Amino acid sequence: MKVLFDYGRPQEAAEVYQEMLESGLRPNCHTYTAMMEYLVTVAIDQRRNEIEGLFKDALEIMNEMQEAGVQPDKATCNILVQKCSMAGQISMITHILHFMKESSLVLRLPVFLEALEAFRSSGESDHLLREVHPHLALEGIKEEMESEVTFYDPNYCVDRSIIINFLSRRNLVAIDHLLREMRMDSETLSAIVLANCENLRPYGALLAFHRSVEAGLKLERNAYVSLIGLLIRAKSYHVVIKIVEEMLLIGITFGTYLLSLLIYQLGCAGFSDASANIFTALPEDHSSSTYTALINALFQAGDVEKSLEFYSRMRRECVPVSCGTYEVLVAGLERAGRIHDANMYRKEKRSLQWHDFSKPRILAEEIFCNRFFGSSHYTE
């Protein structure tokens, strides 16, 4: 949906959303955020008399998601406040700030400064904004002032404009030479990483990544993910591990699907120890897919006993075992010559298939695991 929205194909995005609902999959926070972000982005580009309606629609979606038991997270609030600040939509910013106050959420400093400027430009009181962000409005006055100086510093603005100009022209070689000479913010460095990844330039993307590490800046999640994808295709697994370690260090969220793919790819490349370390570091993302990916990685390394230990742990933790999990177990045991054990798990798989066919609905997590690890004939 997000990709379709970003490429100006809302009708197809709506069809995907409808298909998702018909499949019994519940929209999550990311789903609602994608829809609201699209509406407010379109609103910024629309004629003035159409803006209010689009922002009203976005606000209705925010209310609907809460009624459905899905709460907006920090990222959602930051995206919406930033877009609303650009459009001067103070009423919607105020609505979001009330929610943030109740939920103990805060804005990132750059977004806080944009919202502060929007309040000042409109002549409205910024009391609520400062009340929700006492660490910025009271305790951090000095830091805020220094950030504002940087934000409005002419030299900084010129440097940023030069980089943006080169990005628009895709003159990435020039950016390589300027990276160490100019001050960069995380947004600009993220854009540089993404542009280099789109143009299959791991060298330039890694330059920007290392610059962010040196400056202590946190890139956007999609920049890390794009860089990892590019490096996996280039088979630069040692570098992938370094990037994953940095993501863990600064608290970037992985999610079940990214974690499953990482564990699987590293396992297939012979880095089962790294797969196990990443799995252990993210207990909140343990699921059918991540467990199955790790079991597969350990089989790839020839560590049959450890694979079976993690399978037993999976059962103890009541993580759903899918047919895809059994596919991995059977294939791994057969490669190890343990035919009797393989046949035992094959029987368990048949029993599970029979049980699944009688269930009214299979969990989305199990469907993903079956599609990723199971035989092509078993997908539902």
pLDDT for 141 equals: 40
- Claim to verify: residue 264 and residue 295 sit in the same structural domain: yes
- Claim to verify: residue 158 and residue 140 sit in the same structural domain: no
pLDDT for 157 equals: 67
Provide the pLDDT confidence category of residue 283 given band limits of 50, 70 and 90. very high
Tell which of 252, 279, 294 closes a domain.
252
- Claim to verify: residue 82 and residue 132 sit in the same structural domain: yes
Number of domains in the chain: 3
- Claim to verify: residue 108 and residue 118 sit in the same structural domain: yes
Using the 8-state DSSP alphabet, how is residue 322 labeled? -
Q: Quick one: the chain helix, strand, coil %, rounded to 5?
A: 75, 0, 25
Mean pLDDT of all residues in 246-264: 92
Token readout for 221 is 């999640």
pLDDT for 378 equals: 37
Mean of all residue pLDDT scores within the chain: 85
- Claim to verify: residue 17 and residue 114 sit in the same structural domain: yes
- Claim to verify: residue 233 and residue 367 sit in the same structural domain: no
* Cβ 137 vs Cβ 107: under 8 Å: no
- Claim to verify: residue 333 and residue 221 sit in the same structural domain: no
Q: CA-CA distance, 238 to 55, in Å (whole number)? A: 45
**H/E run at residue 244:** helix 237-250
- Claim to verify: residue 173 and residue 208 sit in the same structural domain: yes
Core vs surface per residue 32-50: b (16+ CB within 10 A) or e: bbbbbbbbbbbbeeeeeee
Tell which of 151, 182, 205 closes a domain.
151
Q: Please give the distance of CA 155 from its chain centroid, rounded to a whole number.
A: 33
Per-residue model confidence as pLDDT tens digits over 309-321 = 999 999 999 998 9
Q: CA-CA distance, 138 to 140, in Å (whole number)? A: 6
Tell which of 233, 252, 271 closes a domain.
252
Provide the pLDDT confidence category of residue 380 given band limits of 50, 70 and 90. very low
- Claim to verify: residue 334 and residue 375 sit in the same structural domain: yes
- Domain ranges, residue 236: 153-252
Using the 8-state DSSP alphabet, how is residue 359 labeled? S
Q: CA-CA distance, 115 to 93, in Å (whole number)? A: 8
- Claim to verify: residue 354 and residue 343 sit in the same structural domain: yes
Per-residue model confidence as pLDDT tens digits over 24-73 = 888 999 999 999 888 888 876 664 555 567 788 888 888 888 888 899 99
Cα dihedral value 80, 82, 87, 91, nearest 10: 60
* Cβ 292 vs Cβ 322: under 8 Å: yes
Does the model's pTM come out above 0.75?
A: no
